[in-house]
Structure 1
Amino acid sequence: MHVKKIFSTQLIFFFGAMVCLAQGKKSKGDAYFFQYEYKAAIEAYEQDMGKGTLTEQQFLNLADSYFKNNDFEKASEVYLKLYEKDSLLGNHHLNKMMQSLLKVSGEGKNDTLLTAMSSKFRKEFLENFDFNTQILSKKEEDEALDFQIFNLKSNSPQSDFAPSFYEDQLLFSSGRSLDKRNIYSPAGESYLNIFKAKSRKDGQISADVQPFTEINDSDYHKATPYYAKGLKGIFYVLSNTENGNLAFDDNGKNALAIGMQLPDGTFRLLLKDLSTSFYYPFYDEKSERLYFSANFKDSYGGTDIYYVYTNRGQIMSAPINLGPRINSPGNEIAPFIFENSFYFSSDVFYGLGGMDVYKSNLEDDTFSIPVNLGEGINSSYDDFGFIMRNEGDGLLGYFSSNRAGGKGKDDLYGFKVDEKPGLKTLALRGKITTLKGDTGVEKAVVRLLNENGGLLAETYTDDEGNYRIEIPWEKEVVLESSKERYSFFRKKFSEEELNALENTKYNFTVSNYDVLVEEKEDQTVIKLKKFFFGRNSYKLTPEIETELDKVAAFIESFPAAQLRIETYTDSRGGSSTNFRLTQNRSDTMKKYLLKKGVPESNILFSVGYGENKILNNCTNGVYCLEMLHQQNQRSLFVILNHNLLFD
């Protein structure tokens, strides 16, 4: 079995009469299909189809066989027939159907079908799709990196793929022949083996390519190595065997396991399931996670990327799926982490073609939207198995591809580049809280606008007030956030500010209207601490100014609010004197607010009511304690349009 992509590889195909699908009939095609003999499976299935004995599942197997055999026209026809029946097509096969249709009819001709299918896909997938479609169409020449990509001279006519750094050498997988080795018939090559060669300063490898003998010998597949320098161990995949012979599941399928070879010769079989193949192990020294690809039944598509926790390579947890931000309805393989960026390959249909390499940034144990690396590393063919390291003043990396001009089925390619490849994006993330900073604001809308006010992207905060929004790179953006009964937030970012925010959070606060107001005397007023003017004075004290600053902040948060300033005094003194005193107090507070930047249009009235509205029995001639008189000394900032603010 070939473990590269792993699945490499209009509608005018004529089946004759309508296909008649039978119930539960066996077919020789099944055995061929599970042994990856797709040409033979096609012949057997087509014979059974002519007899009318093909089951729906076998019809789907036939479509997959066409697909694997690169007969995309026939594959698309069968997938479409099954799609119209709304039967067995899950998201993984919808991805294959779209791949086939794009191969046959080209881009831009299947928008109607994709729109009809969109309800079947998860939100994350649709976001990834929209983002990559947008960024791949935005070709800015001044952002293009100068790649030096070269074919390795030591490639063979067979498949050479899955490069891995090993001290001063390069490890890779190959189907090149060795003496006394069996031939793996589906690929027409030797069973895969791991080889090594010395790395040269120019990025090429030596012509003296040798089998990698530091791992146990086997007559069957050994492939996709990864050298964990800290453990000095080699992770790799190998064929499931029992007593030296291939082991098969009930369907006659032979799968791949993951093992680890240590320098002392100890071999550990880490992951094995007769019905599940494991691919492309990658060990992250920092987290001690072992990443890999597998085709478990609970995947989001075909082959997904998972990880397990380890203790120096010993498995310590069940496999954990990376989730729908990374895994798609397609196949995801070949995980690799470099400087906080997560690279992998996927054959999701919106790429440049076949398998493409994608990059996602690691953010507090979450992933940013995976971005296609674009032309250069990626092509219209299969590009996969990407690795990279610092070398001199730049970066040296390798990947595999079956693009035109190679020497074999898959070739190893090297590249040199000055900085990390990948189309530049802008990601803003953080948390929105209320003014006290202790309560997250859930379901607030967050928008990014361009310098002309055009909407670039929109999202909502989660239950804890966290947001994340990502777009193709812009030199200037405006961040806006709003939620009913909360203050509106707006911030413009320059290019310098955006660069400074890379890999950091941008948190901000908003005001909750209902927390800042209260009901008093049958009116909605701004909530303030009670304050007092001096006896017979309208001079502002620092305590009064502190409360007035809260009023100014309220208007800044809710600029549509219209106020009436009301001031009252107690019954002591003459009534006309009290009217003048309270009017002066209201006017003084208004002048302070205007000086603080509150627009005059927000303060419709400033009124002194004197002793006209006594709240208790302390009227003229009644003896009262000072604290009772103070109950009548008050200022209110009444919100006149309270009932209209959020209509």
Structure 2
Amino acid sequence: GGTDIYFVYTNNGQIMSEPTNLGPGVNSPGNEIAPYIFDNSLYFSSDVFYGIGGMDMYKTNMYADGSFGIPINLGKGINTAFDDFGLILRDNGPEGILGYFSSNRTGGKGNDDIYGFKVKEDLGLKTFSLKGRVVNLKSNDGILKAQLRLLDKDSVLIKEVYSDDNGDFRFEIPWKDQITVQATKDHYSIFSATYNESEYDTVQKGTFIIGLSSIEDLLTEKEGKQVVKIQKFYFDKGRADITPKIQIELDKVVDAVQRFPQLKLSIESHTNSKGSRKSNSQLSQRRADAIKSYLIKNGLSSSNIISVGLGEDNLINKCADGVYCLEFLHNQNERTNIVVANFEEL
């Protein structure tokens, strides 16, 4: 724009580089002047940003990666409808912060006069800043163009951004006493976490990592269908009790649905051909119902789960009634698949 702010690298007071423009995060099509650094923040004046009038003074947070936060107007009292610029600050111990600046506001002794002030707290609007990365939980690679949203305590959207090529993102918003961070992408899980003011320091410290699961990492194809990826398990002979070993596998299903709440499941239980067709059908239905009950008990919605007992109708080998087979072949037919019924919609 008009006058921009630049920086140079120095060594013992000697300039060691060409001037570098601070870019559009600080500079505007108008005029930016009088840069001053205090307590990891850059203060400057501008006549273009959302100002009160003339030249107003602003504050922007400085980050370790060389980027800047959103410019924050220092507000009425310090800024006026006239030109306010040249701010310098000093730590005044227990009394707070001591500041000086120039202004051509009315009531002065001349054109540009020097003014001073004392404040107890930092200048400008307090902000919440979050720098992070969205990664694939399995590979730890950054996820490109993941959608990130910040919501207030009433679930009203505050800001939405998308992660860059490396999965990196940054938010900076006016201070809220509670925020919810959400992240997702097509074919990836949903992340949602709520934080209060007491947790902000921990959340804002370092890089905030959000891990998402890819749907492909949680599903596999069996018998031409997409099913939740779990280890094969067996019920006790003739029974439908959920044993500790079965619980371990079903907890994986619970975890998958918690990551993908939109999943609709069809529990398909099969038996081998031993016993009558009727008893096998009834047994497989009891087993499917027992699995459904366990999943519901552990927080899944009953409206998204159906249970189907298929008995010996869909054998995967030739071990039908009247055919002699070794036990391991009969065991191949006894199985339960947790089918994702709405896979094509994901």
Give the TM-score range, shorter chain: 0.7 to 0.9
Q: Secondary structure at the match of 2:33?
A: strand
Q: Which runs of 5+ in 2 are unaligned?
A: none
RMSD: 2.7
Q: How do residues 431-580 of structure 1 correspond to structure 2 at under 5 angstroms?
A: 431-436=133-138, 438-498=140-200, 501-502=203-204, 505-572=207-274, 575-580=277-282
Q: Note if 1:603 corresponds to 2:277.
A: no
Q: CA deviation at 1:343?
A: 1.5
Match of 2:11 in 1: 311
Any conservation in 2 of the 1:437–1:509 contact (CA below 8 Å)? no
Aligned partners of 2:293, 2:156: CA distance in 1, in Å? 38
8 Å CA contact retained: 1:566, 1:638 = yes
1:363–1:503 contact (8 Å) kept in structure 2:
no
Q: Which amino acid aligns with 1:308?
A: V
In the TM superposition, residue 302 of structure 1 has moved relative to its aligned partner by 2.2
Residues 344, 359 of structure 1: 8 Å contact kept: yes
1:518/1:525 contact within 8 Å kept: yes
Find the aligned partners of 1:310 and 1:531 in 2 and give their Cα distance. 67
TM-aligned CA deviation for residue 461 of structure 1: 1.9
Q: Answer with 1 or 2: which has the greater Rg.
A: 1
On the 8 A contact 2:147/2:160 being kept in 1, the answer is: yes
Distance across 1 between alignment mates of 2:337 and 2:296: 17
2:31 is equivalent to residue 331 of structure 1:
yes
Rounded Cα–Cα distance in structure 2 between residues aligned with 1:543 and 1:323? 59
In the TM superposition, residue 424 of structure 1 has moved relative to its aligned partner by 1.9
Which residue of the partner structure matches residue 425 of structure 1?
127
Q: How many residues align?
A: 343
| Residue type of the alignment partner of 1:402 | N
Q: Map of 1:122-137 to 2, 5 A cutoff?
A: none
| Match for residue 289 of structure 2 among 581, 587, 591 | 587
Match for residue 616 of structure 1? 317
Deviation of the 1:369 alpha carbon = 0.6
Q: Contact 2:50–2:73 (CA<8 Å) still a contact in 1?
A: no
Q: Is the 8 A contact 1:449 1:478 kept in 2?
A: yes
Classify the secondary structure of the residue corresponding to 1:565.
strand
Q: Give the TM-score taking structure 2 as reference length.
A: 0.86
How far off its partner does 1:382 sit?
Answer: 1.9
Using the TM superposition, give the Cα deviation of residue 577 of structure 1 relative to its aligned residue in structure 2, in angstroms: 4.7
> What SS class does the counterpart of residue 583 from structure 1 fall into?
helix
Relative distance call for 1:387 and 1:444 in structure 2 (3 A) is same
1:176 is matched with none
> Equivalent residue of 2:311, what SS?
coil
For residues 330 and 18 of structure 2, the distance between their equivalents in structure 1, rounded to whole angstroms, comes to 72
CA distance in 2 between partners of 1:505 and 1:518 (Å): 33
Q: Shift of the alpha carbon at 1:550?
A: 1.8
CA distance in 2, matches of 1:565, 1:498: 42
1:348-398 deviations in whole A, cap 9, x for unaligned?
Answer: 253222222211112332211111111222222222222212123111122
Say whether the 8 Å CA contact 1:559–1:602 is kept in structure 2. Answer: no
Name stretches of at least 5 consecutive residues in structure 1 with no aligned partner: 1-300
Deviations 1:508-558 (A, max 9, x none): 333333332233212222222333334555443434222211211222233
**Alpha-carbon separation, structure 2, partners of 1:486 and 1:612:** 35
Which of 355, 364, 368 is the aligned partner of 2:55? Answer: 355
Residue in 2 that maps onto 1:55: none
Whether the 8 Å contact between 1:432 and 1:441 is mirrored in structure 2 is: yes
Q: 2:333 aligned with 1:639, yes or no?
A: no
- Tell me the distance in 2 between the aligned counterparts of 1:479 and 1:630: 46
> Does the 8 A contact of 1:355 with 1:381 survive in 2?
yes
Structure 1 distance, partners of 2:118, 2:81, is 21
- The amino acid that maps onto 1:634 is R
Letter in 2 for 1:305: I
1:353-432 map, 5 Å: 353-365=53-65, 366-393=67-94, 394-432=96-134
Task: Tell me how far apart the structure 2 counterparts of residues 514 and 331 of structure 1 sit (CA, whole Å).
Answer: 51
Partners of 2:193 and 2:223 in 1: CA distance: 38
The Cα of 1:618 is off from its aligned counterpart by 4.1
For 1:549, the aligned partner's letter is: D
What TM-score results when the alignment is normalised by the length of structure 1? 0.49
Greater fraction helix: 1
Identity %: 50
Q: Distance in 2 between matches of 1:632 and 1:318?
A: 74
8 Å CA contact retained: 2:131, 2:204: no
Q: C-alpha offsets along residues 411-453 of structure 1, whole Å, 9 cap, x if unaligned? A: 2222211111111223333223334471333223222333444
**Deviation at 1:596?**
0.5
CA 1:602 to 1:387, structure 2 compared with 1: closer, same or farther past 3 Å?
A: same
**Conserved in 1, the CA contact under 8 Å of 2:254 and 2:300?**
yes
Instruction: Name the residue aligned to 1:346.
Output: 46
Give the Cα–Cα distance (whole angstroms) in 1 for the partners of residues 248 and 63 of structure 2: 40
Q: 1:310 to 1:571 in 2, by over 3 A?
A: farther
C-alpha deviations, 1:264-313, integer Å up to 9, x for none?
Answer: xxxxxxxxxxxxxxxxxxxxxxxxxxxxxxxxxxxxx1222222333333
Offset at residue 505 of structure 1 (A)? 4.8
Residue 566 of structure 1, CA deviation:
0.9
Distance verdict in 2 for CA 1:618–1:308, change over 3 Å? farther
Determine the C-alpha separation between the residues in 1 that align with 2:269 and 2:118: 75
* Structure having the larger proportion of residues in strand: 2
State the Cα distance separating 1:640 from its structure 2 match.
2.0
Pick closer, same or farther for the CA change 1:612–1:386 going to 2, 3 Å.
Answer: same
Q: Distance in 1 between matches of 2:134 and 2:112?
A: 49
- CA deviations over 1:195-245 (Å, ceiling 9, x no partner): xxxxxxxxxxxxxxxxxxxxxxxxxxxxxxxxxxxxxxxxxxxxxxxxxxx
CA 1:502–1:522: 2 relative to 1, 3 Å: closer
Give CA-to-partner distance per residue, 1:578-633, whole Å, 9 cap, x none: 434433332222221121111211212x223233222234445344473x444333
Q: Pairwise mapping of residues 282-301 of structure 1 onto structure 2 (< 5 A)? A: 301=1
